[in-house]
Structure 1
Amino acid sequence: MKKVLAIIGPTAVGKTALSLELAKKFHGEIISGDSMQVYRSLDIGTAKIMPAERENIPHYLIDIRNIDERYSVADFVKESRQLIDQISERGLPMIVGGTGFYLKALLYDMNLGGDHFEQSERVRNKWHEYALFHGQQALWNQLNAIDPAAAQKIPVANERRVVRALEVYERTGTLFSQQQITLKPRYDAFVVGLNTDRGKVYERINQRVDQMLSMGLVDEARRLYEAGGDQWQSGKGIGYRELFPFFKGQISKNTAVEKIKQDTRHYAKRQLTWFRHQLPVHWYDIIADFSVKNDIGIAVSEWLEK
């Protein structure tokens, strides 16, 4: 079974720097797990690592789509699997960043084929939009009315899992609480999770957004908007969608900026919750203790030797 190293965690906790260090140490090549970094010209808002910053480490799935094109988890899995096969011949495939569902779909043998996946994606989007407009309690109430056994095991705030339970019922007709699904691992994966104190994470997120603004995020988002981005998948990314109402004159720039910070913080919280429940992650805090990087290197080395 091919080995794959993954590095996950919220924004601004040191994933990029760590990935470069580990890639150099273990002959790694990096596959971006970020569904927004695939888009050309969206550099600032996606915190894309630029060619000059890559320290001669090969990077993949960056700048591979135009901003008016769609990019799905099925695309990610197909392209990543091809890359893993190629990289494994000469080094260590590394997945860095991205959403939890993308990573899980890659590491486990999940059915993402054609209409099946497109239907699932539509159902998920519908329920996430329901939560956006009506709130997470109302979303949870929907699940409780359909499948109270599942609802009692899922916190109201765990929107992603509530949506998953609703999706399973809507798509299969089977209650989520009655499903027994064991996913088969596709790879021998070692998942490194970076995290730190929540207050520090939020502080670093706010600083990251301010840095993006100083680098020209507003102009980048405006170009996307003027090209028609509010109608495209690329325009739904955090850092872009919040600025569109500002461009329309509906809100102030300050309000839009605060919304970017808020949405990023909420996303980080949801992702951390998801990872803790969905994947076996080895957690480290390199913000609080920089020397922990040595522990990570040792753990990865031991895993590679198995």
Structure 2
Amino acid sequence: MPPRDVPVIAVVGATASGKTELSLDLAGHLGGEVVNTDAMQVYRGMDVGTAKLPVAERRGIQHHLLDVLDIDETASVAEFQRMARATIDDLRDRGVVPVLVGGSALYTRAVLDRFEFPGTDADVRRALEDELAAAGPAALHQRLRDVDPDAASGILPTNGRRIVRALEVVTITGRPFSASLPRLEYEVPGAHQVGVAMDRRTLEDRIARRVEAMFEAGFVAEVEALVARGLAETRTASRAIGYPEVMAHLAGETTEAEARERTAAATRRFARRQDSWFHKDPRITWVDSADPDRLAKALVAVGAGPA
């Protein structure tokens, strides 16, 4: 099959909805390989807290863009776009179907869609970072909400780095940051998106069980080891859901039970945002996670099954 005829499949949806299982089913059925599009699974050592699939559970399927950065390296969307597109091109050149999977909507769209990155201004960035340090992310998030509510709705109020970037773009261009986000137009030929849907109650139950399993699997010990390597001083890795909550516990500010509940609450909020982001994209074909025919329906959606 010529490289440009090899489809590129992205499995999207909220955290804990069952994306990983469907991505493995698709890759196994199509002889494909998995490409990570989770912003935090790129970091080495951040395994339990990011629900990174252990090698033994990958069904022998090759996975890409996991464990490619140290925690003190900053993960930029532009650099991830470059790495992911290079990986996709290499797979397609070999006739292998890339199956992208992850809950980071911005990363998925940056890879698949037309997305040119606005420039930067060191002075503007420095001033905003100084303001972030002095006033905190919540104050800057409110400022972003005032000037660009669409952009603010898609950025967590705790994500100071992305808030600063959005305000920098608004300041430099005089246009909303949301205007610079990817257009709903594929840059990658042969792209398809399959969303995994799950009812809210079931999803929140799964999130609760996942968080409990993470803590039972040694999440606190993982964070403690990463703190010893400088996690608290990192710009990106330290903001992964669960890690600030456990760091607060390790600092004696909360109990472990409080850290568990705060992690679950933060994950529930993130899942709601993910649902909102992905459902704005009409190109996604949704399959129900509980549907025994979800693989067959996903294959039809990507043109690899009987209509």
Q: TM-score, normalised by structure 1?
A: 0.82
Distance in structure 2 (CA, Å) of the matches to 1:180 and 1:49: 29
Distance in structure 2 (CA, Å) of the matches to 1:42 and 1:304: 40
Cα–Cα, structure 1 residues 67 and 250, in superposed 2: closer, same or farther, change >3 Å? same
Q: 8 Å contact 1:190–1:303 — kept in the other structure?
A: no
Distance in structure 1 (CA, Å) of the matches to 2:114 and 2:40: 23
Q: Which residue in the other structure is 1:103 paired with?
A: 108
- 3-state SS of the aligned residue for 1:242? helix
Aligned residues: 292
How far the C-alpha of 1:93 sits from its partner, in A, is 1.1
1:274 aligns with 2:277: yes
CA RMSD for the aligned pairs?
3.6
How far the C-alpha of 1:98 sits from its partner, in A, is 3.5
- 3-state SS of the aligned residue for 2:242? coil
Q: How far does the alpha carbon of each residue in 1:213-234 deviate from its partner, in whole angstroms, 9 at most, with x for none?
A: 1111110011112222011122
Cα–Cα, structure 1 residues 202 and 87, in superposed 2: closer, same or farther, change >3 Å? same
1:27 aligns with 2:34: no
Q: Which residue in the other structure is 2:160 paired with?
A: none
How far the C-alpha of 1:192 sits from its partner, in A, is 0.7
How far the C-alpha of 1:304 sits from its partner, in A, is 11
Question: What is the correspondence of 1:97-176 to structure 2 with a 5 Å cutoff?
Answer: 97-112=102-117, 115=120, 133-134=138-139, 138-139=142-143, 142-143=146-147, 158-160=153-155, 169-174=170-175
- Matched AA of 1:17: E
The structure 1 residue matched to 2:47, chosen from 37, 43, 46, is: 43
The structure 2 residue matched to 1:55, chosen from 37, 52, 59, is: 59
Distance in structure 1 (CA, Å) of the matches to 2:259 and 2:205: 18
Q: 8 Å contact 2:41–2:66 — kept in the other structure?
A: yes
Q: Which residue in the other structure is 1:147 paired with?
A: none
Q: Which residue in the other structure is 1:217 paired with?
A: 219
Q: 8 Å contact 1:110–1:183 — kept in the other structure?
A: no
Q: Which residue in the other structure is 1:298 paired with?
A: 300
Q: How far does the alpha carbon of each residue in 1:270-297 deviate from its partner, in whole angstroms, 9 at most, with x for none?
A: 111112224621112123x233332112
Q: How far does the alpha carbon of each residue in 1:25-83 deviate from its partner, in whole angstroms, 9 at most, with x for none?
A: 11211110012111112211111112211112111011111222222111211111111
- 3-state SS of the aligned residue for 2:10? strand
Q: 8 Å contact 1:8–1:98 — kept in the other structure?
A: yes
How far the C-alpha of 1:141 sits from its partner, in A, is 6.0
Cα–Cα, structure 1 residues 303 and 16, in superposed 2: closer, same or farther, change >3 Å? same
Distance in structure 1 (CA, Å) of the matches to 2:144 and 2:121: 24
Distance in structure 2 (CA, Å) of the matches to 1:237 and 1:180: 22
The more displaced of 289-298 and 206-215 is 289-298
Q: 8 Å contact 1:131–1:139 — kept in the other structure?
A: no
How far the C-alpha of 1:155 sits from its partner, in A, is 11
Q: Which residue in the other structure is 1:246 paired with?
A: 249
Q: How far does the alpha carbon of each residue in 1:117-171 deviate from its partner, in whole angstroms, 9 at most, with x for none?
A: 9x89x979x89x98953597x457623xxxxxx75xx598x34499798665323
The more displaced of 167-176 and 264-273 is 167-176
Q: TM-score, normalised by structure 2?
A: 0.81
The more displaced of 160-169 and 71-80 is 160-169
Cα–Cα, structure 1 residues 279 and 223, in superposed 2: closer, same or farther, change >3 Å? farther
How far the C-alpha of 1:181 sits from its partner, in A, is 8.5
Percent of residue pairs identical: 33
Cα–Cα, structure 1 residues 11 and 280, in superposed 2: closer, same or farther, change >3 Å? same
How far the C-alpha of 1:303 sits from its partner, in A, is 8.1
**Structure 1: any 5+ residue segments left out of the alignment?**
144-149
**Structure 2: any 5+ residue segments left out of the alignment?**
158-162
